[in-house]
Amino acid sequence: MASVSATSVSFGCSFNQTKSITASKGCSISLGTTNRRLSSLRFPRLRVYASAKPETVSKVMEIVKKQLALNDSVDLKPESKFSELGADSLDTVEIVMNLEEVFNITVEEDNSQNITTVQEAADLIEKLVADKPTEATSEASA
Amino acid sequence: MSFMMRAVKVPPPSASLEEARHRVFDLFRSACRSLPTVMEIYTLNDVVTVSQLRSAISSEFRNNAHITDPKVIDMLLIKGQEELSNVVEHAKQRHHIIGQYVVDRTGMHHGAGKDPSTSQFLDNFYTSNYF
């Protein structure tokens, strides 16, 4: 539920014409204007690309550290590029496969080309993990 | 015997090193994705983890990382694909897998088993006719 409050905060920043936003646990949001457009917020299938959760980022960093056999003295930030940490292209692909296994996702071909930092990997994982249960529900209802 | 002739079509050669690299990563990805199946087929759950097998695969790939000729890379890819399909369709047996991919692999890099040679002339002679 912490993720719900995070997404409601980000919405508060992006819409200028909102008067007041109250987000409750059921995701019902009351607004002065443009009510119809934002009524989709009531459905839990809302996908807001907020930045990745810290647990995800730290898990990714763990995996990268083990894969590249980095000492603890190496400064590993979410913005560190894999190539700066001494990874060649095969290492990058292997890290992506490791993440696929740990998070039980499938990274598409073109997505994996864009992953160069820890943060990008974590964001992509969040997106894929969020997409997965919605696919399951749509298949169940079909 | 006809089942052996099913897949003898050779794919077109790679136009460039980039395309060859692309194919290499495709093979690597399909090998990694088949690892859970392999673990189940050969019941390796108590012997090794998926991560260890994955690093064994990547060290096999890295052994040939110094090669730059796309045709040679294509040939190695065909051999790799054949090896992968043999493993996945249970044409190998458990002791093959364990001996080739699980057992201690520290001596398996390029130029591993060669003693430091006393003759530079002989080294050059073994590699090529012209030096």
User: Using the beta-carbon criterion (under 8 Å), do B65 and A97 form an inter-chain contact?
Assistant: no
User: With an 8 Å Cβ cutoff, is A101 touching chain B?
Assistant: yes
User: Using the beta-carbon criterion (under 8 Å), do B51 and A98 form an inter-chain contact?
Assistant: yes
Query: What is the domain count for chain B?
Result: 1
Which two tokens mark B96?
A: 């093959």
Q: Is the pLDDT of residue B9 over 60?
A: yes
Q: How many Å lie between the alpha carbon of A97 and the closest alpha carbon of chain B?
A: 7
According to CATH, where is 1.10.1200.10 located in chain A?
Answer: 54-133
Q: Is the pLDDT of residue B14 over 80?
A: yes
User: Is domain A54-133 classified as CATH 1.10.3720.10?
Assistant: no
3-state percent breakdown (helix, strand, coil) of chain B, nearest 5:
60, 0, 40
As a residue count, chain A comes to: 142
Q: Rounded to a whole number, what is the distance in angstroms from the first to the last CA of chain B? A: 47
Percent of chain B with pLDDT over 90: 61
Query: pLDDT value at position A21?
Result: 43
Q: How many Å lie between the alpha carbon of B91 and the closest alpha carbon of chain A?
A: 25
Average pLDDT, chain A: 69
* Residue range B60-89, pLDDT digits in tens: 999 998 999 999 999 999 999 999 999 999
Which two tokens mark A90?
A: 């095969």
Is B21 part of any domain? yes
Tell me if residue A34 falls in helix, strand or coil. Answer: coil
User: With an 8 Å Cβ cutoff, is A89 touching chain B?
Assistant: yes
**A129 in Cβ contact with A103 (< 8 Å):** yes
Q: Which residues of A are catalytic?
A: 88
CA distance B126 to B117: 12
B41 is in which domain, residue-wise?
17-109
* Residue range A26-58, pLDDT digits in tens: 444 444 444 455 554 555 555 555 566 788 888
Whose structure tokens read 């051999």? B79
Query: How many A/B residue pairs have CB atoms within 8 Å?
Result: 32
Whose structure tokens read 């919605």? A134
Is B51 part of any domain? yes
Is B92 part of any domain? yes
Is B7 part of any domain? no
The DSSP code sequence of A120-139 is: HHHHHHHHHHHHHHHHHHHH
